[in-house]
Amino acid sequence: MNRAHGLSVRVKLTLSYAGFLMLAGTLLLAAVWAFLLQYVPDDWNRRLLHENPNRQLLLRTFAPAAATAMAFLLLIGLLGGWFLAGRMLAPLTRITDATRMATGGSLSHRVRLAGRRDEFRELADAFDTMLARLEAHVAEQRRFAANASHELRTPLAVSKTLLDVARTDPNRDTAEVIDRLHAVNTRAIDLIEALLLLSRADQRSFARRRVDLSLMAEEAGETLLPLAEEHGVTVETGGDITPTVGSPELLLQLTTNLVHNAIVHNLPGRGTVWVTTAVRPGTVALTVENTGERITAELAATLTEPFQRGTERVRSGHAGVGLGLAIVKTITQAHHGTLTLTPRRAGGLRITVELPATAPGNERGEGRRPPTDSPADRCPGRSWRPGASIPLALAPDTPGAGIRGTSPA
């Protein structure tokens, strides 16, 4: 790497060490000289110069010794300063080499500085952590780009095939081709809109306003009421008033995605979804639980990855595009919150979103909903009904798709 002309840091440190050492030596000799002058008479009698101590004799004998000592200090300062500066700057050299390797595209290299935890060790550890996060982020972006390309290529390839068939077979039913093209294009549009929403949430380019998560939960439940009836799923909402600050549109999308996943990936014809809100110290929480088959903690930890699907997932008309929980994760991070996925012992999944709380507008607590500490576990086998919230308990009508390996929409 080309460097501008000038003294290096090692040379500057060496000169600084030598300069301070010379300054300290000069001050020490000056202090000794001033101390000795108090006890030596100022006698200019040349006849007694070599017989009695005087300042002239002291100066003649002390000056050469002082000059020799200063020259020795200068040499020690330069050599010792060069060695010490090299030792002190060695960790920075390793960090610089790692930075150059990272600039060249090698993010797997780490400094791994040994020794005691001093400032250089903390800097190296922080740099290693940054490299690890960059490597994970780049790998995630590459997987996302590959998966997105694959997901977008599929509807385009299907559309091309349908058009080719329609062109080569004039007697084919045109209405059927149009219907299939409409379905394929609708899926492609949904995927593109999900990608745009994911990008918008990741860039955090949105206005923040006061939001009540409990109202979002009720609105999402009302919107997805027909879907729940179609799948034969009972949806129950309730909880506390949960004020926070964020984008109402994004937080509504977050809640809708969670409820949608809980409905679609549930037990066929006899499933239940619990949507609850709660106020915690410093945060507000939105929890969505559903019944279903048991899943492992390892699988649950991967469900927020884009286009991640379970190996035995059952496709349906409401299966989504594979970005449901990825969007939830991005929106949660954009609002400085935390997302937790926990498999339920009885089967299904519990998803909790915690966001920073704001001061409630009603300090007396009017309009509070009943507390909801995991109603699914507290009242198994019973239909739980919210108090002040809009009840969304639905009687199962038709069977729907169940959890097969469980994955986000």
- Residue 332 CA to residue 328 CA, distance in Å, equals 6
| pLDDT at 380 exceeding the cut of 50 | no
- Residue 19 CA to residue 77 CA, distance in Å, equals 8
More confidently predicted of 357 and 191 = 357
Bridge partners of 288, per DSSP, are: 275, 351
**Average pLDDT of the segment spanning 367-389:** 38
Q: Which amino acid is at 88?
A: M
| pLDDT at 26 exceeding the cut of 50 | yes
Given a contact cutoff of 8 angstroms between Cβ atoms, the answer to whether 273 and 288 are in contact is yes
Burial of 318: CB neighbours in 10 Å, binned 0-12, 13-18, 19+ = middle
pLDDT band at 42 (very low <50, low <70, confident <90, very high): low
- Residue 58 CA to residue 40 CA, distance in Å, equals 8
Amino acid 375: pLDDT: 42
pLDDT digits (tens, 9 = 90+) for 248-263: 888 998 999 899 999 9
Q: What percent of the chain has pLDDT over 90?
A: 18
- Which of 360, 357, 393 shows the shortest CA–CA distance to 375? 393
More confidently predicted of 348 and 108 = 348
Tokens representing 259?
């409820």
Least confident of 157-166, 198-207, 302-311, 331-340: 302-311
**Average pLDDT of the segment spanning 142-167:** 75
328: DSSP letter = H
Contacts of 58 (CB under 8 A, 6+ apart): 36, 40
3-state secondary structure of 398: coil
Q: Which helix (H) or strand (E) is 236 found in, with range?
A: strand 233-239
- Residue 409 CA to residue 407 CA, distance in Å, equals 7
Tokens representing 55?
């300042």
Tokens representing 346?
């009885």
**Average pLDDT of the segment spanning 75-82:** 90
How distant, in Å, are the alpha carbons of 135, 145, 360 from that of 138? 5, 10, 40
Radius of gyration of the chain (CA): 37
pLDDT digits (tens, 9 = 90+) for 277-293: 999 999 999 999 999 88
Amino acid 190: pLDDT: 74
Q: Which amino acid is at 360?
A: P
Burial per residue of 188-222, b for 16 or more beta-carbon CB atoms within 10 angstroms, e otherwise: beebeebbebbebbeeeebeeeebbbbbbbbbbbe
The residue behind tokens 């492609």 is 188
pLDDT digits (tens, 9 = 90+) for 109-133: 888 888 778 888 888 888 889 988 8
H-only helix segments in 275-353: 297-302, 324-334
Length of the chain: 409
- Which of 148, 183, 179, 149 shows the shortest CA–CA distance to 166? 179
Tell me the range of 151-160, 194-203, 302-311, 384-393 where mean pLDDT is highest. Answer: 151-160
